[in-house]
A and B are shown apart, each in its own frame.
Chain A
Amino acid sequence: MIWFFLLVVIALSALAFIGGRGLAVRRADAQTRAGGSKAHSRPAQHGLYALIWVGAPSLLVLILAGVFSGGIAHQALVAGASPEVEQLEPFRREAFFSDAYLVGAGQPSQQIWPAPLAEQLTVQGRRAAEIRTTLSIGTGIAALIAAVLGGLFVFIRIRPDLRARNRVEDWIGVVLFACSAVAVLTTIGIVFSLLWDSLRFFQSVPVAEFLFGTKWSPQIAIRADQVGSSGAFGAVPLFAGTFLIMIIAMCVAAPVGLFSAIYLSEYASRGSRAVVKPVLEILAGVPTVVYGFFAALTVGPALRVFFNSIGDFLIGGPLNDIGLYLSLVQNQMALVAGAVMGIMLIPFVSSLSDDIINSVPQTLRDGSYAMGATKSETVKKVLLPAALPGIAGALLLAMSRAIGETMIVTMAAGLAAKLTLNPLDTVTTVTVQIVTLLTGDQEFNSPKTLAAFGLGLTLFLVTLVLNIVAQRIVQTYREQYD
């Protein structure tokens, strides 16, 4: 429905452009024939002015309706629900209403409801559809009224002495500013959505327990009387797992990425650079889910076989205990996720370091060569110290990527929340837990679901701090040579 109105608005705006342009031409001609001065703006600018005044108000109505109508419809539906529905537990009620929407849209419901509720479902489904239709028709009428009012306003004003161009340009400035405000609004949206649900989470789980508790098992029961109904929400094992995998990833990405950058910027010939750069770009463009698949199905089994065979070799010898441990290593381990993530980060580290090394002025290199230093000595004693802050910033950015990376760890690290520093153990990370908490059957308002937002907030804050520090370092450093 809203698409139809959008089309109507676009058509009306186009008409307004043509009409405004025509009107401007006619009125300007009349004025010149009467001996008056030429029009201030060109006809097309009058047309644009008309287009803006017809299009903008109605578009604003449509956008506001798009943002708010879902919530308003939901309020109306909930307010008019029958007592049977009212009595349901909160999350069951949510599920009921989401099924009502499905039924209203003519799709089968997701759950099977007992008899009185099943009848209610059809009733509420019809109501949901009605409310939606009413709202969208109302929106459409409001948009039309806005367009007509805007049109009236503008067509009276189109006169040769109207400064249409300036007006249009003012509008363009406003629109462009609104565009850049979207970025700020996104940040505000992120912070508020995370804060809001996190606060509700911290009402049931104290902040101190979340930050310093060492036991994580969110398997909270659906009913209050069920066994094991209280979950444990100590996030320390998740932070430990995240940290462990991040360290492993950096152990791979930092040296390989850095040496690639040094090689590419100082040693490589034009030809090899032309080959290696695109390869690194492809490596950077591979979706993370592909790395996850590769980690889970190729690297994981390969490393398991490797460690198991070492284990089998050691069993019975002096290192029997280690052998026994190694022979039982499983596919999912921190090492697999960390190593593959490290590979994923190589192009990231190398392209950032490459930029930074390249930005060290040539005079420093020439000075070093003039003193008789070899290339490697120049790199080690001149370039790296000069570029060090920038490289440190790049590594910090890579760390924040590693902490926020989701798919590889979800597919290759495991789910067991363990407090361990052993890279051969399965560990779990913050991002993995967010995914597990928010996929599958879920009920909003339970601590289990809200915990995901608590974790998300922590993740956001940690990566934010790392990013800000890293960007500060990179920027301060860059200004030194410019």
Chain B
Amino acid sequence: MTDATLSKGADSQGVGVDPARVSKLQAGIKKRYAKEARFKLYGVLAVSVAVGFLLLLLGRIIEQGHTAFYAHEITLPVYMDPARIDRTYPQGTNFELLVAEQELVRLGVQDDEQGTKARAMRSLFSSELKFRAAALVRNNPNIIGQTVTIAAPASDEADLFYKGEISRDTPSDQRRISDQQIVWLDQMKASGAVRTHFNGALFTNGDSTEPELAGVLGAVVGSALMLLVTALIAIPIGIGAAVYLEEFSPRNRISDLIEVNINNLAAVPSIVYGLLGVALFINWMHLPRSSPLVGGLVLALMALPTIIIATRSSLKAVPPSIREAALAMGASRTQTVFQHVLPLAMPGVMTGTIISMAHALGETAPLLLIGMVSFVPGIPHSAVEPTGALPSLVYIWENASERAFHERTAAAILVLLAFMIVMNAGAILLRRRFERRW
């Protein structure tokens, strides 16, 4: 309805155009177009809010997490003082203090009676120093009395300082590192003892109470074991249930009930599955707490409805003519389903399954309830040992008080997101590769 048609219509009837009415109508049209533009703008705004938020989220996490992927290592010569090292029990020696005192002498600092400065210096090294030095002595006791160079990670605070996360402009009572320590750190850096390297420990270590030694490997292995249990249980049962409901079940009240039930299960809050896990698997069946077995079982029950729904919809997409053709050739119902329908539906089934597995991988709340928040330093070897999982590690680290854990939390999230993206990309590829229109 434009003004052109309007005036034409008026002319053809031979009626004189009322200019007031035309301008009123034109004003109305303008208003309507403005409304239209505004409405479209709201849509654009809504979409940009969603997209902008995703960018903000990813940007912030990368910004906070990228620094965790490199770390600083301090290399120092150590005189293995025979008076201080017990040849038979090298682990008992306080190597950190030994190194700290020698470093003070090298920097020309006089310590006080109580040894406060040595302690302040010592806190700049990771406790890893002690273990590395002890291992050196144990392997070769002859180095006692000699000077060797030992490399050890900087402590979390020193590391953050070198990364610029702790600013020297902050008033000294508000930062965890004193002015004196900053001077020493600068001197060490100037002497070339400090080296930046890729933080391999993040990927090869289990969890630790010390941020500079904490890694995600234990949690990755735990998550993998858990996902394995989930997949082994949820995928066959889910596909079986979907095949039964879609291809075999008689249409009666029982199958209706099962169907409604599955739809409701898909929307039950995940934490309720955690409660189920506590009551059923831990309190009743006495399966080991915090183990990937229990975690996997809970996640399997949770993933099951999603897999069933996805499988059913891809079974539905296979046209009836395929079934009729098979049946006409004398195949039984079971043969039709397992040799013709299911293989054709498989790409869709796999896509749905991968997506629900990715969801299970990221699920946290039920894991907290079955005890996956406890501190587990080692790397698990079986599905019945206590372990952590990637998402619960994120939760534990987020709650840690040391600031260095913040960047590691973000790094762990990046690892988690990388897994999710790989899985989802796999699902999308599958869909693209095998998508078929009937």
Contact = CB atoms under 8 A, between A and B. Distances in A.
A307 B335 CA distance: 67
Contacts of A267: 40, 43
Contact-residue size bin, chain A (C-beta under 8 Å from the other chain): 35 or more
A263 B40 contact: yes
Nearest to B384: A105
Nearest to B266: A467
A165 B39 contact: no
A182 B237 contact: yes
A175 B406 CA distance: 49
Nearest to A291: B57
Contacts of A196: 279
Most chain A CB within 10 A, of B35, B249, B286, B421, is at B286
B409 A293 contact: yes
Chief secondary structure at chain A's binding surface: helix
Interface stretch (A10-18, A20-28, A136-144, A453-461): A453-461
A184 interface: yes
A468 interface: yes
A84 B147 CA distance: 58
Interface in B394-437: 394-395, 398, 406, 409-410, 413, 416-417, 420-421, 424, 428
A238 interface: no
B365 interface: yes
Interface string A326-355: 000000000000000001001100100000
Chief secondary structure at chain B's binding surface: helix
B263 A435 contact: no
Interface string B326-363: 00000011100010000000000000000100110111
B394 A406 contact: no
B304 A182 contact: yes
Interface in A59-81: 67-68, 70-71, 73-74
Interface stretch (A114-122, A145-153, A280-288, A314-322): A280-288
A118 to B, nearest CB: 22
A190 B272 contact: yes
A158 to B, nearest CB: 20
Given A287-B391, A290-B416, A431 B365 contact: yes
A343 B53 contact: yes
B190 interface: no
A356 B53 CA distance: 25
Nearest to B358: A285
B82 interface: no
B244 A189 contact: no
A464 B398 contact: no
Contacts of B260: 471
A452 interface: yes
Contact of B47 (A264, A406, A407, A434): A264
Interface string B44-60: 11110111011011001
Contacts of A298: 56, 60
A286 B365 contact: no
Interface of B: 1, 32-33, 35-36, 38-40, 42-47, 49-51, 53-54, 56-57, 60-61, 64, 236-245, 248-249, 257-258, 260-265, 267-276, 278-280, 283-289, 301, 304-305, 308, 332-334, 338, 355, 358-359, 361-365, 368-369, 371, 373, 391-392, 394-395, 398, 406, 409-410, 413, 416-417, 420-421, 424, 428
13 contacts: A68-B285, A193-B280, A197-B279, A256-B46, A276-B47, A290-B417, A293-B409, A346-B49, A374-B36, A404-B269, A406-B364, A434-B275, A459-B271
Interface of A: 67-68, 70-71, 73-74, 98, 101, 165, 168-169, 172-173, 175-184, 186-187, 189-190, 193-194, 196-197, 255-260, 262-264, 266-268, 276, 278-283, 285-294, 296-298, 343, 346-347, 350, 372, 374-377, 379-380, 397, 400-401, 403-407, 410-411, 431, 434-435, 438-439, 444, 452-453, 456, 459-460, 463-464, 467-468, 471
